[in-house]
Chains A and B, each alone.
Chain A
Amino acid sequence: MKRQIYLDHAATTPVDPRVLEAMLPYFSENFGNASGVYAISQTSQGALEEAREKVAEILGCSPDEVIFTGGATEADNAAIAGAALGQRESGDHIVTSAIEHHAVLHACESLDDFGFETTYLGVDEFGTVEPEQVAEAVNERTNVVSIMLANNEVGTIEPIAEIGAAVRERAAGLGRKVVFHTDAAQAGGVLDLNVYRLGVDMLTLAAHKFYGPKGVGILYVRNGTPFRPFQYGGSQEGNRRAGTENIPLIVGAAEALRLAVEEQGENNEHCKALRDRLIRGILTKVPNSTLNGHPTERLPNNANFCIDGAAGESILVGLDMEGISASSGSACTSGSLDPSHVLTAMGVPAERAIGSLRLTVGKGNEDRDIDRVLEVLPGIVERLRRVSGVG
Chain B
Amino acid sequence: MPRYSKTFLDHFNNPRNVGVIEDAERVGTEKNEVCGDTMTLYLRMTGDRIKEARFQTLGCSASIAASSVTTELVTGKSVGEARALTRHDIAEALDGIPPAKLHSAVLAIDALKAALDGAEAGGN
Contacts and interface: CB of A to CB of B under 8 A. Distances in A.
Interface of A: 309-311, 313-314, 316-317, 320-321, 331-333, 335, 337-339, 350-351, 353-354, 384, 386-390
A353 B58 CA distance: 12
B84 interface: no
Nearest to B39: A388
Nearest to A349: B36
Interface core residue of B13, B60, B63 (most chain A CB under 10 Å): B60
Contacts of B56: 387-389
Contacts of B59: 311, 314, 332, 354, 388
Given A313-B60, A314-B60, A320 B15 contact: no
A387 B34 CA distance: 21
A350 B38 CA distance: 12
A311 B1 contact: no
A95 B9 CA distance: 45
Given A313-B60, A333-B1, 10 more contacts: A314-B61, A317-B61, A320-B1, A321-B9, A332-B60, A335-B100, A337-B35, A337-B103, A338-B34, A390-B58
Contacts of A311: 36-37, 58-60, 63
A134 to B, nearest CB: 31
Contacts of B62: 332
Interface string B59-78: 11111100000000000000
**Max count, chain A CB within 10 A of own CB: residue among B34, B58, B64:** B58
A314 B1 contact: no
B57 A388 contact: yes
Contact of A331 (B9, B34, B40, B58): B34
Contact of B58 (A316, A333, A338, A388): A388
B1 A317 contact: yes
A387 B32 contact: no
B57 A387 contact: yes
Contacts of A339: 35-36
Given A337-B32, A387-B57, A388-B58, A321 B13 contact: yes
Given A309-B58, A337-B34, A314 B103 contact: no
A329 B60 CA distance: 13
Contacts of B18: 386-387
Nearest to B20: A389
A317 B4 contact: yes
Contacts of B100: 335
Contacts of A310: 58
Contacts of B58: 309-311, 354, 387-390
B15 A316 contact: no
Nearest to B8: A317
Interface string B4-25: 1000010011010011100000
21 contacts: A311-B37, A311-B58, A311-B59, A311-B63, A314-B60, A331-B60, A332-B62, A332-B101, A337-B32, A337-B35, A337-B103, A350-B36, A351-B36, A386-B18, A387-B15, A387-B18, A387-B56, A388-B38, A388-B57, A388-B59, A389-B56
Nearest to A313: B60
A339 B33 CA distance: 11
Nearest to B31: A351
A309 B38 CA distance: 11
